[in-house]
Amino acid sequence: MRYREGNPPLPLSARTGGCDFSSPLGRRLVRALQDAAPGPLLVDTGFPGRQQAVDRDLNLPDRGPLLFRLWSNQSSIIASCKQARSPRFAAARAQSAAAGWPVVARRSGGTAVVHRPGIWNFSLIRFAAPAEDVAIERDYAMLLSVLRQAMARIGILCDQGGVAGAHCDGKYNLRWQGRKLAGTAACITRRDGRPLRIFHAALAVDGSVREDLAAIERFERALGEYRDYARDAHVTVRQILDENHIGGRPHDARRPTAMAV
């Protein structure tokens, strides 16, 4: 693993908790994702602006038909495109920012999610041929397969499916023993006349899920959306490893090219 000179690894956040890519757990996870990915993995260690981090998947140069990107973001609430159209959005965004959680919008649907150093974002980016059919089920299956293989390499066996009481719930969640470990979303668009498909997962690695859910609930209530999320419906990688005394190293396997930016 290498980092671009002058661009240090992400710092740990004392307030929100976090796991940087160069910490012991971070190195294990990055290695596991490299081993599992069937294409090149871009390890994005920069901390650009919050909105720029979210939009970067859309603006990456074409590096072949399939690319994976691993990245993190500053502490923020990421609103769905539907929420961003709400007449209450501006006031809700200001209230959330005053509480320490700036809000940016994404192009996909669903409901609000949290970004912070302890949430790792993992994107599957497919630059498709103009006549290629969109295969949402296939690409979601590939994304989840990579995550499940990576988790298995560090001793965590996962499946997929909905989780009652979880925020931004869906059938493509990554689950561990019925609890949500990662949520997913998709963005289907076009660039230069070609289909561009992005399938994204937000993996809870470390930090306080309770604080995350409190921030989401506060923002959504300001929008007039009243949902209460179950704290025990969620889990982090750190919790699983600590509570189940899972250790050791991920086994050696083929490693596709890892690129650092």
How much is the CA Rg of the chain, to the nearest whole Å? 17
State phi, psi for 58 to the nearest 5 degrees: -75, -20
Report if residue 31 sits inside a domain: yes
Q: Is residue 242 part of a domain?
A: yes
**Residue 13 maps to a domain:** no
In a domain, 2, yes or no: no
Q: Are 16 and 117 in contact (CB under 8 A)?
A: yes
Structural domain including 86 reads: 24-260
Averaged pLDDT, 189-214: 91
Q: What is the mean pLDDT of residues 206-216?
A: 96
* Residue of 19, 158, 168, 187 with catalytic role: 168
CB neighbourhood size of 38 (10 A): 13
β-sheet with 76-79: strand ranges across: 103-105, 76-79, 113-115
Mean pLDDT of 66-92: 94
Q: What is the pLDDT of residue 179?
A: 98
Sheet harboring 41-44: ordered strands across? Answer: 159-160, 174-176, 179-191, 194-204, 119-127, 66-71, 41-44, 258-260
HEC secondary structure over 165-220: CCCCCCCCCEEECCEEEEEEEEEEEEECCEEEEEEEEEEECCCCHHHHHHHHHHHH
The model's pTM: 0.84
Name the residue among 200, 191, 215 with its Cα closest to residue 139: 200
DSSP string, 32-72: HHHHH-SS-EEEE-----HHHHHHHHHH----SSEEEEEE-
Could you give the CA distance from residue 125 to residue 11 in angstroms, rounded to a whole number?
Answer: 26
Question: Where does residue 23 rank: exposed (0-12), middle (13-18), buried (19+ CB within 10 A)?
Answer: middle
In-domain check, residue 193: yes
Question: What is the total count of domains within the chain?
Answer: 1
In a domain, 77, yes or no: yes
- Which of residues 134 and 58 earns the better pLDDT score? 58
**Model confidence over 159-175: pLDDT tens digits?**
999 999 999 999 999 99
Query: Is 188 a residue whose pLDDT tops 60?
Result: yes
Rounded average pLDDT over 57-82: 88
Tokens for 222? Answer: 């300001």
Least confident of 2-6, 74-78, 180-184: 2-6
Indicate the average pLDDT of the chain: 84
Q: Give the Cα separation of 215 and 189 in Å (integer).
A: 30
- pLDDT tens-digit map of 194-206: 788 999 999 999 9
Q: For position 219, which CATH number holds? A: 3.30.930.10
Parallel, antiparallel, or unpaired: how do β-strands 66-71 and 113-115 relate? unpaired
- The SS3 assignment for 122 reads strand
* Residues 104-149: tens digit of each pLDDT: 998 888 899 999 999 999 999 988 766 666 678 999 999 999 999 9
For residue 1, pLDDT beyond 80: no
Q: Establish if 153 belongs to a structural domain.
A: yes
Q: In the prediction, which pLDDT does 129 show?
A: 64
What is the C-alpha to C-alpha distance for residues 131 and 134, in angstroms, rounded to an integer? 9
**Per-residue pLDDT band at 10 (split at 50, 70, 90):** very low
Q: Is 158 a catalytic residue?
A: no
CA atoms of 51 and 34, how far apart (whole Å):
26
Residue 19 maps to a domain: no
